[in-house]
Amino acid sequence: MVSPLGIGTEANWSALLAGRSGVGPITRFDAARYPSRVAGEVKDFNPEDYVAKKDVKKMDRFIHFALAASHLAVEDSGLAISASNGERVGVYIGSGIGGLPSIEKQHASLLETGPDRISPFFIVGLIVNLASGQVSIRFGAKGPNLAASTACATGSHSIGDSFEIIKRGDADAMICGGAEAVITPLAVGGFCAMRALSTRNDAPQKASRPFDAGRDGFVMGEGSGIVILEELSTALRRDARIYAEVAGYGLTGDAYHVSAPSADGDGPVRVMLAALNDAGVGPEVVDYINAHGTSTPSGDKVETLAIHRVFGERAGKIAVSSTKSMTGHLLGAAGGLETAVTALAVARDSVPPTINYEVPDPECDLDYVPNQSRSQPVRYALNNSFGFGGTNASLLLKKFEA
């Protein structure tokens, strides 16, 4: 995990359980003229800790994050990648937007000094699949090498697709998730133009408030969430530490609108049911849902409705939290980070809170684990991710039982 809460698994997990916000005033550029001036920036990150100094300028910040998170994930997994198994290890890391900072910088250079000053590393430093490409090169992972770009569902689709790749026998292990770094003048300006962002500039740490009646938009975040998926028999042979088992994966489309969910929650309903059906279990087994929960007025309401439709009378008894209340919305990296959080919830029987939940919304009436983390048994947990264009993903994780 690389997020506004810190770098590494334990730094993030301890911050999540403490209910600490990583949101603050934007510092990456002068945002004084913007309606929204808050974001979840990754702090104290030195790319040279993970990338050779001579290569730092050859790749965009989202690739720096992907390399860092992949390094941490591979190290944590104990997976040794060598010539003997490299062809059976793949990489699937996506990004919702990719190298927008590089595009802005090189476009400015073009206008100021002409085409001769464009970097020869411009294209290979910004395209979405170069996060996977650079990680593959770094570790000698010669198996499937792919990248999804499905907006805010990217990270979850990358992990779900990796699950399918392993199931069909094309790899024994996958380094997978998402990375994003677009806290830039153009991206923030674009989301402001859509009126999608919170304007609670006077209280940045309270700006992201999923399911709260006072929510007024999402807060942009950045970072990377990477997990290692491994076929069970190979993991057991090397006595790997197993956080959770991927039990089911669902993916659906709304076919409704470029950015808004349909009022009946049809796509989210079908995607959660698809994940449950893929696992061969019913709604009654789920103990925790890591919600998409972006802090937008319509999105949170629709997700709540969808959970009611899927879980019926049990809906109010399931712990539902949005960790975006602390990290902000990492866009294409959100699903990767939140799948990792969900795996930890399963492994450690602890549920992170939804912070800034102060005034209940009558249309958001579930148990959102308000403001304080909770210790409770978590055997099955869902992670939801929904993206612009009506693209949805849901992953069902379960406690590993030898």
> Residue 51 — pLDDT band, cuts 50, 70, 90?
very high
pLDDT tens readout for residues 99-129: 999 999 999 999 999 999 999 999 999 999 9
pLDDT score of 232:
96
The pLDDT mean for the chain works out to 97
pLDDT score of 107:
96
**What distances in angstroms separate CA 189 from CA 33, 60, 201, one per listed residue?**
10, 20, 15
Q: What is the mean pLDDT of residues 335-352?
A: 98
Whether the model clears a pTM of 0.85, i.e. scores above it, the answer is yes
Please list, residue by residue across 313-346, b when 16 or more beta carbons sit within 10 angstroms of its beta carbon and e when fewer do: eebeebbbbbbbbbbbbbbbbbbbbbbbbbbbbb
Residue 59 has pLDDT above 90, yes or no: yes
CB 289 within 8 A of CB 320: yes
Q: What is the mean pLDDT of residues 305-323?
A: 98
pLDDT tens readout for residues 137-147: 999 999 999 99
Hey, which residues are catalytic here?
A: 152, 292, 329
| Angle between helix 334-348 and 154-167 (nearest 10) | 70
pLDDT score of 402:
81
Q: Between β-strands 173-180 and 89-94, what pairing exists: parallel, antiparallel or unpaired?
A: parallel
pLDDT tens readout for residues 170-207: 999 999 999 999 999 999 999 999 999 999 999 999 99
**What distances in angstroms separate CA 28 from CA 183, 190, 224, one per listed residue?**
7, 16, 18
The strand ranges marked E within 118-274 are 145-146, 173-180, 223-230, 245-253
3-state secondary structure of 329: strand
Q: What is the mean pLDDT of residues 251-273?
A: 96
The strand ranges marked E within 282-368 are 288-290, 319-321, 350-351
Q: Domains of the chain by range and CATH?
A: 2-398 (3.40.47.10)
pLDDT score of 66:
98
Phi, psi (degrees; rounded to nearest 5) at 156: -70, -40
